[in-house]
Structures are given as C-alpha cells and as structure tokens.
Structure 1
Amino acid sequence: MPKERFALIIGAGVAGTSVAERLAARGWRISIIDEADRPGQGASGNRAGVFRPLPSLDDNRLARITRAGFLHGLRHLAQLAERGHPVRWEATGVLHLARDAKQETKMRAVVDAHRPPANYLRFVDREEAGKLADWPVELGGWWFPGGGWIQPPSLCASNLAAGGKQISTHFRQHLARLERVAGDWIALAADGTEIARAPVAILANGVGIRALPQAAPLPVRPARGQVSHLPATSGSAPRIVVCRLGYVSPEVDGIRCAGATFIADDDGSELREEEHRENLTKLDFILPGYAAAFDPATLGGRVGFRPASPDRLPMVGAVPAVDRAERTTPLADIPRHPGLYAVSGFGARGLVWASLMGELLACQLNDAPLPLEQDLVDAVDPARYLLKPPRPDRGGDE
C-alpha cells in the first residue's frame, strides 16, 4: 500500500467511477480525469444497458465472475440508494432466449444441474417465455427475475456523488501523456500542462488506454457498437429486457434500446443505416415480427466503443512493465509498473462487472481480503496475456 492514499484515475465511466467510489469509501483521495464534460459519456453513455449474469454448465470462469459481479452489483445498487444516491435502474427481469433447440436443451440442463434459487435463475419454456415478454417467441430459455436495465451515466454519477469530497473531478481534460516522476504519476495535457498527479494511477479510460505506451502489453481491442433507439409508448411490450443474440430493453423515456452491433477495429462514430438494419434483424430474431413497425432510415441511436479483451474477461490489476515473459513464469513474478493499474476489457459486460472489479482493485491497493477466489483474480490479471496467446473474441452481446 502506498504511504499516501491518493490515486489518479483516468476515465469517468462505469469502470473508473466504480474504483473511485470504493477507494473513497476507504479514505483515499481521488483525482479523476475525463475528456467529456460529465461522467459516463464514452462506452458508458447508453440510455439503458443489460444487467444479468451468464451461467454455464461447467460453471466456467466467465460464469463465476459474472455471477459474483451480478450479486455484488445488486448490493452496490442497494447501498447507493440507502446512502441517498439512487441509480436509475429497474429490476424488470431479463429473459435470455435460446438461439436454437440445441441451446434450449443446454439451458435447461444448466438449471437442472446447478439448481439455483428461483429468484436468481430458472428455466422457462416457450409458452411462459412468451407470457413474460408479452409477445410470441420461438423457444424458451433463462429467466433472471432480479436482472434488468441500468442507465450507465446514472451509475457513474451516483458513484461520484457517494465519494463526496474525497473525489475531485477534472472534466474536459485530454490526457496526452502519463509520466512517472519522483514517485508520482503525472497526467499531462498536449501542451505539457500538468492536469493532476498521484502516487497511484489507474487506467480506466476504455479504448483510450491503447494510446498510452505504458499499457502497450495489454491487448485491448476497440469494438464499435451501435444501439438503435426505437420510439416506444409507456407500458408497451416488452416491459422486460429480452436477449437472444442481441437485446431489446423496455421503454425508457419514450425510447426502447435495441442492439447492438459489434465491429472490431472500426473507429467510425457516425450512425449507419446498415447497422440499424442489423439491429432490426436481431430484434426480429428475438421477437418475431416486432421490427416490422420500424424504418431503419429514420431511427436514432448511439455509437460507442467498447474495450474488448481477447478472452472475454476483464483486465484488473497492476500493469506489466514488460511485453513478454516465459510461459512458466508465475504471475506474481512478472515485473509491474510501480503504482500503475488497469481496469479495462469490460466489453459489453461493464454493468455486471464494474462494482465487483472496483472492489477487487480497492482491496488489492489496501492489502485487504479479496472478494474473489485466487484463480479468478489470476484470470483477470492484466499480465495473463504474457503467458498465453490471446484467443479471438467472438464478440456480440450474448
């Protein structure tokens, strides 16, 4: 633990603000820097994002981390509300429909094998799924009663508000360089002006992390995602979140979110009609016939750039100071940049991971007991890619 409990956080999205809130709760002073004029305007800027876990029959690492993240996230949302900083979200439930009959059988097998509490997960057949969605569907799937949608900018704002005077914000600031001088990390603007400094620096700036030489060993890949905004009336179906190789949200302020596209290494920020068409095709796959009412040429939407990781797991921990290592090297023996940490690679799952990953890094920085088993801590260590070749990510929202 550094002698002075003062951290510089780059990025005020769900990753950065989650770490800031957890450190502030432990008495740390925080300076948080972001290019936007308010929190949650990058990949965290959508109107509504899906909040649910992702089980598997073998209870693999992704399943275990999303389960832990979901349950931790529920507690975090409740605690923020109790402290007077409620997040805009709704536990509508999330219906995750099977892609095909084979997957439907597997989804039933997961529930039969693990026997989760019914208020966490249960399998529903096609008839019950259709009733939940208030729309005819092709197959059954998983029903997460406690899941729902979260407005990411609201979560970011609540995290910062909960941190109170412990957190100072530096908005409309572009980080050009990060330098280590006399035990401090110094954030510099393009003209060399110092923005802020601290003994600890945390990189939570999404795809912007790729511009920093210190983060070169991290295989963060930008993934363009376009969400389509569908005009909707209050109380119209579906009133829950429905997923099936894509997702559709309930109505929020007259808009229903549907998406999202996933295009790697595309930095175009404009709305594209062809991607609206792709989202409407996904929507018809989720709820047959639902997309017929919408003209892709007239839809609004939003484009964001998600920091994706090759193995679909987040990157949380100390940043490696080397770009290669022997495959047999223990993670603990890989050299790290002193006082430099990353919280990245959230992809499309930032809402289910953010609060838990913020707690994990806060525990690491305070030498406190960790909220995850050691094998899962190792699974999200940013240095893991030095020991094995990254696997390609299939992308998408499922």
Structure 2
Amino acid sequence: MAGPASRRHAIVIGAGLAGSSAAERLAARGWTIELIDHADGPGQGASGNLAGVLRPLPSLDDNRLARLTRAGFEHARRHFDALTAAAQPLRWGQTGVLHLARDETHATTQQRVVAARHPANDELRFVERDQARELAAWPVATGGWWFPGGGWVDPASLCRANLAHHAAAIRPHYRCQVARIDRQAGLWRACNAAGEVIAEAPVLILANATAARNFPVAAHLPLRAARGQVSHLPGEAGSAPQIVVCRLGYVTPAIDGVRCAGATFGIDDGEPAPRESDHLENLAKLDFILPGYASKLRALDLAGRVGFRPLSPDRLPMIGAVADAAAIDANAPSRPLAEMPRLPGLYVINGFGARGIVWSALAGELLACLITEAPLPLTDDLVHAVDPGRFLLRGRNKRVRDRASPPVGG
C-alpha cells in the first residue's frame, strides 16, 4: 500500500524483536512509526534475555524450516554488520556456534547434510570429536556442526539498535496498554482502557506476542505461549567455552561475568518466576553438552530469567496481512491464499518461538516489502509458508473433511 507521504504512517504494537524489526525496516523507507508497548522501554518481554543464539538449522531434505533459518541467518548477519557500521548499540559476538551431535546416528545425519549441501567452509562444516574438543576447550563427547559465522546476540540491545537506527522516524509510546483496536475512516486506532486514542494510522502491525489474540480481529491466530527459563551461571572472562555450544540445549560464553544456559520449553505454563526444578533441568542439559561442567553448580544458587515466547502450531513465524476471518465461509470450497479476504491495513509479525534472533531481521524486511509492494526477499513458497492466513485454510479444510466423513467406528 505504498502511496503519498501522508499514507506512509504505521502503528506497531510491541517493541520486542518483531516490532522493532518491522519499525526499523519501514522507517528506513521513509515511514513514520507509532511504536506502542506496555513496558517502559524496548525488549523487555521475550526479547529481554541476556543472550540468544544465532545459527541456522540445516536438514537433510532442506525443508521450509531449514531454508527459512538459513535465509534468516544470512540476512541477520548483514543487518548486524550494518547496525555495527552505523555505531548502533548492538551487542553480539561472532564467536561461532558448535552444534554437537546427540549421538552417533545424529552425527552421521549431520555429515550427510554437509555432504549434500556443499556449504562453504566459513558457513558450515562438520568437525570430528577431537576438533570439537579444541573449539569448545572442553572434552565434549561427540563431533558436530560448526557454524563459524554464528554466535550470541543480546536481543534487547538489538531492539534498541533497531529503533535508534532511524530514531527520528519512530515515536515511542511506552507504558501504554492497548485495550482495543478499531478502524474508522481508513485509519486504524489503538485505544487504551479509557477509550482514549493512543495513536492512529492507515497501517497497524501486531507484534505483541500472544496478546495479539486479545483483539477480536486477530482472535483466530493460533498463537500460544512457550515458557522458557534460562539459567545464569557465573563465568570469568576467557574461561571455557568461549564459543556457543549446543546439544539439546545451549551454553554461551561468559558475557559480563554471566554465562547463559538453557532453556526449558513449557507450553501454556504461566509461572513468571524462575523455578529450581527448571534450573535442575538446565544443569542436566549443560552436563549433556559439556560433561562434568555442572558438577560444582547447585540449582538453588542460580539466578535466571523467564520469558514467554509466542509460538505457532507449525513452529514457523506469522508474517503478513491478517485475514478477515468473519468474511470466510467455512462451507465454501477452499481457495488459494492469494484470494483470501484480508483486513485492509492490518498486519502481523509474530510467532517466532525460540528463533527470534535468527528470524527477526528477515521478518521485518519481508513485512515491509509486503506493505509497500516491493520485491520480496523470499521465494513464493516460503512467503506462503509464513502467511498468517494459512491457519484459516487448514482449519476450514479440516472442518469440511469432518463434516464429509462419518465418525470413527460409525
């Protein structure tokens, strides 16, 4: 919906990785952004962990998840380099990421993936156990994938850097809770509980995790919260490992005296406070990654942080125009996504799960391209794979099948 300057105006609800990425990409195109968040600053929800991991997730069949994480990984590194070159306050370390095999069967699969893909050595390679031990500076049990360009990222600093990059075009509205959204005379309005208008614009973007479902027009989005607890371990500068190491969990280098290890993953678990049982789970994962590392650590002594990450049923993000669910006839034959009715000017960027670091920069670029009708950074099949309307098609098809089929045992 590119148009005159007066139309290049958007509301973004949510100042985490999703919202700050969307705001940055639109602001780079000359848009004015009204950024609304209930916290007193950016990156204080799921994007507030001390460090997250930047690496792709290859697969033997190069499936959609593998292709999306690879594209996101490559785009993120370019974006991080641009922010760093612009002297923005991004904190990250390109230390490399060692993804250890779970067992010998998995190691064989990892080797087959590398052989099938023929990646450049500076992108991905398989390392045997002895080299893995050298990289980790620890007697790890197996070899695994080595991503030299991967590393750790401070997600809250990425949010701040995104917003500082085009600060003059982004108007923050912190400590504001959006209770209602509506559309009048071609403008979306975000209102507080008293009915006062916080901001209005032709475009509104929902980047507020599972809270997006509180608005009736987005209630059909199947977003769920995944509780993740990270454990904070004491870590001296220069101590091992000085890279990120993963194996059914992850551990980071020491960052300002703290090493992050985790994380747990609990669906619809609403406990906001760290739990000792979750620290125990993280220590067990840590011992699987680095045998013996956790032997002198006690769960009751550990600090940590809990975040609630928005998750979609297929574990892929939701990026694009919000469908007009009320206008879809569940009894009508299924039609392509391109023909699905959409709510004018309403978009979502959400459902990153545990992959906000690797997906957010690419997601922001894709959303900005969709809004401004610019060439897209992904192939059509991947754009369709992240289209938020996909869940309505699936649900509708299931309801049609259910009505057409007799009950089991009937």
TM-score where L is the length of structure 2: 0.93
Residue 389 of structure 1 deviates from its aligned partner by: 5.2
- Matched with 2:400 is none
SS across alignment from 1:50 = strand
Summarize the alignment of residues 334-373 of structure 1 with structure 2, pairs less than 5 Å apart: 334-373=340-379
Indicate which of 204, 213, 226 corresponds to 1:201.
204
Q: How far apart are the structure 1 equivalents of 2:139 and 2:194?
A: 58
Going from structure 1 to structure 2, the CA distance change for 1:108 and 1:389 (only over 3 Å counts) comes to farther
Q: How far apart are the structure 1 equivalents of 2:211 and 2:154?
A: 22
State which structure, 1 or 2, has the greater radius of gyration over its C-alpha atoms: 2
Matched, 1:65 2:65: no
AA paired with 1:74? Answer: R
Q: How far apart are the structure 2 equivalents of 1:188 and 1:107?
A: 50
Contact 1:96/1:243 (8 A) holds in 2: yes
Q: How far apart are the structure 2 equivalents of 1:208 and 1:150?
A: 25
Matched, 1:149 2:155: no
Q: How far apart are the structure 2 equivalents of 1:207 and 1:243?
A: 28
Q: How far apart are the structure 2 equivalents of 1:327 and 1:136?
A: 58
Indicate which of 94, 106, 114 corresponds to 2:117.
114
SS across alignment from 1:191 = coil
Contact 2:217/2:325 (8 A) holds in 1: no
SS across alignment from 1:118 = coil
Residue 84 of structure 1 deviates from its aligned partner by: 2.3
Q: How far apart are the structure 2 equivalents of 1:203 and 1:42?
A: 15
Q: How far apart are the structure 2 equivalents of 1:19 and 1:357?
A: 8
Contact 1:327/1:388 (8 A) holds in 2: no
Matched, 1:218 2:190: no
Matched, 1:307 2:313: no
Q: How far apart are the structure 1 equivalents of 2:142 and 2:334?
A: 46
Indicate which of 104, 109, 114 corresponds to 2:107.
104
- Matched with 1:140 is 143
Residue 139 of structure 1 deviates from its aligned partner by: 1.1
Contact 1:186/1:194 (8 A) holds in 2: yes
Matched, 1:185 2:191: no
Deviations along 1:223-271, one digit per CA (max 9) or x if unpaired, are 1110000011111111000111110010011100001011001111011
Residue 327 of structure 1 deviates from its aligned partner by: 6.8
Summarize the alignment of residues 1-398 of structure 1 with structure 2, pairs less than 5 Å apart: 1=1, 3=3, 4-322=7-325, 325=330, 328-388=334-394
Contact 2:213/2:220 (8 A) holds in 1: no
Q: How far apart are the structure 2 equivalents of 1:278 and 1:95?
A: 21
Percent of aligned pairs sharing the same letter: 61
Residue 86 of structure 1 deviates from its aligned partner by: 4.3
SS across alignment from 1:251 = coil
Unaligned runs of 5+ in 1: 391-398
- Matched with 1:393 is none
SS across alignment from 2:41 = coil
SS across alignment from 1:257 = strand
Deviations along 1:270-303, one digit per CA (max 9) or x if unpaired, are 1100000011011111111111121101110000
Contact 1:10/1:202 (8 A) holds in 2: yes
- Matched with 2:407 is none
SS across alignment from 2:139 = coil
Q: How far apart are the structure 1 equivalents of 2:214 and 2:87?
A: 37
Quick check: which one's helix share is greater?
2
Contact 1:12/1:156 (8 A) holds in 2: yes
AA paired with 1:264? Answer: I
Contact 2:89/2:160 (8 A) holds in 1: no
Deviations along 1:351-386, one digit per CA (max 9) or x if unpaired, are 100000100011111111000000000000001112
Q: How far apart are the structure 1 equivalents of 2:367 and 2:293?
A: 42
SS across alignment from 1:111 = helix
Q: How far apart are the structure 2 equivalents of 1:230 and 1:107?
A: 29
Q: How far apart are the structure 2 equivalents of 1:318 and 1:64?
A: 22
Alpha-carbon RMSD across the aligned residues, in angstroms, is: 1.3
TM-score where L is the length of structure 1: 0.96
- Matched with 2:401 is none
Q: How far apart are the structure 2 equivalents of 1:294 and 1:174?
A: 40
Q: How far apart are the structure 1 equivalents of 2:197 and 2:191?
A: 5
Q: How far apart are the structure 2 equivalents of 1:105 and 1:387?
A: 38
SS across alignment from 1:40 = coil
Contact 1:77/1:86 (8 A) holds in 2: no
